[in-house]
């Protein structure tokens, strides 16, 4: 009798439209060793694990979620696991996608990230002004992105409770993206009512891919509430894929002197793909001030 009940329960679970059948897991593991021109050597590791799931609600609608776990460490630091990435739920359909929860804002996620042209996790030329951005990932976001209409999509988002002294939406942004052929152009405008260092940010990126060759450019301009904290950085870069090898080079300029230490910095990257999931790479960061050059070797496995 007990065996019959157990067998019936298993059959019912298998036959049911189980949500976990739509859950996927992906991520990456990086291990990197670097040396700078002062002779200091260091090692770093970085792990991302991303869980995604979706449920068909019928009538062309889907519910979904994303749960991004991150672990970083260097030296004797084991690197505690934290939900440092996105943690959000969504509802999508013919109308577009509505998401809510912890998310990385448009400017950082969609535009500034285009500057990450090299293969490493530790080194990059992504926008990083001394005063910081309006909003990095926040637990209090809500976002709408329209469906793609002949290469054009638009979005709006808002984040609240970044400043405990206010009860409104502290940061709001609009976003637009257009793709045609090998060209993709993105732009976003972000407004903040935060005091002192932060302000309004405008960003634009363009990427053109032609066969194995691609070029990209990113400009992020922050008009801070305090004029002395205004910041503007522009990154340009190019990459070329030849067989299992990818070569990339990028450079960054600082137009307003806020991040003068980064003005003129360059990055060079060579990556060799051992398989679809595993690669090894060599990256050199050239500091224009001549005091912080860094060379890094690493290995990455994606799953």
Give one DSSP letter per residue of 204-268, joined into a string: EEEEEEETTEEEEEEEEEEEESSGGG-EEEEEEEEEEEETTEEEEEEEEEESSSTTGGGTT-EEE
Does position 7 have pLDDT exceeding 80, yes or no?
Answer: no
What is the bridge-based pairing of β-strands 96-103 and 231-242? unpaired
Does position 205 have pLDDT exceeding 90, yes or no?
Answer: yes
Q: Structure pTM?
A: 0.81
- The number of helices, as runs of H, and strands, as runs of E, in the chain is 2, 17
Beta bridge partners of 300: 30, 279
Number of domains making up the chain: 1
Q: Which of 152-156, 165-169, 230-234, 262-266 has the lowest mean pLDDT?
A: 165-169
Count Cβ atoms below 10 Å from residue 103 Cβ, excluding itself. Answer: 26
Range of the domain at 257: 2-302
- Please state, in angstroms and rounded to a whole number, the distance separating the CA atoms of residues 55 and 70: 25
Note the pLDDT tens digit of each residue in 24-54.
999 999 999 988 877 677 788 888 999 999 9
Note the pLDDT tens digit of each residue in 128-157.
655 445 556 677 789 999 999 999 999 999
Count Cβ atoms below 10 Å from residue 72 Cβ, excluding itself. Answer: 18
Structure tokens given for 263: 């003005």
Range among 11-20, 77-86, 103-112 rated most confident = 103-112
For tokens 């694990």, what's the residue? 49
Instruction: Please give the backbone phi and psi of residue 184, each rounded to the nearest 5 degrees, phi first.
Output: -130, 125
Residue from 15, 189, 28, 173 nearest 103 by CA: 173
Note the pLDDT tens digit of each residue in 218-241.
999 888 777 777 788 899 999 999
CATH of residue 216 = 2.40.160.10
- Please state, in angstroms and rounded to a whole number, the distance separating the CA atoms of residues 62 and 51: 16
- More confident position, 117 or 289: 117
Where is 9: in which H helix or E strand? helix 2-15
The SS3 of residue 37 is coil
């Amino acid at each position: 009798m007990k065996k019959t009940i157990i067998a019936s329960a298993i059959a019912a679970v298998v036959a049911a439209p189980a949500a976990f059948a739509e859950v996927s897991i992906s991520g990456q593991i990086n291990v990197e060793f670097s040396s700078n021109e002062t002779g200091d050597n260091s090692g770093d590791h970085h792990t991302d694990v991303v869980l995604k799931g979706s449920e068909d609600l019928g009538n062309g609608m889907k519910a979904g979620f994303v749960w991004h776990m991150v672990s970083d460490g260097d030296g004797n630091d084991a690197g505690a696991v934290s939900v440092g990435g996105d943690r959000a739920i969504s509802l999508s359909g013919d109308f577009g996608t509505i998401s809510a929860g912890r998310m990385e804002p448009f400017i950082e996620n969609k535009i500034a990230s285009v500057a990450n042209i090299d293969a490493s996790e530790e080194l990059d030329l992504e926008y990083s002004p001394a005063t910081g951005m309006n909003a990095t990932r926040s637990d209090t976001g809500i976002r709408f992105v329209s469906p793609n209409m002949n290469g054009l999509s638009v979005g709006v988002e808002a984040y609240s409770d970044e400043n405990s002294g206010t009860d409104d939406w502290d940061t709001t942004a609009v976003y637009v993206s257009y793709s045609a052929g090998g060209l993709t152009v993105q732009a976003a405008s972000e407004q903040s009512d935060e005091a002192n260092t932060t302000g309004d940010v405008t960003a634009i990126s363009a990427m053109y891919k032609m066969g194995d060759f691609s070029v990209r450019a990113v400009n992020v301009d922050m008009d801070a509430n305090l004029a002395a904290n205004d910041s503007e950085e522009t990154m340009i870069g190019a990459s070329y894929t030849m067989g299992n090898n990818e070569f990339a080079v990028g450079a960054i300029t600082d137009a307003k002197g806020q991040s003068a230490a980064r003005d003129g910095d360059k990055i060079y990257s060579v990556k060799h793909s051992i398989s679809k999931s595993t690669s090894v790479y060599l990256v050199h960061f050239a500091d224009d001030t001549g005091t912080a050059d860094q060379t890094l070797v690493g290995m990455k496995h994606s799953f």
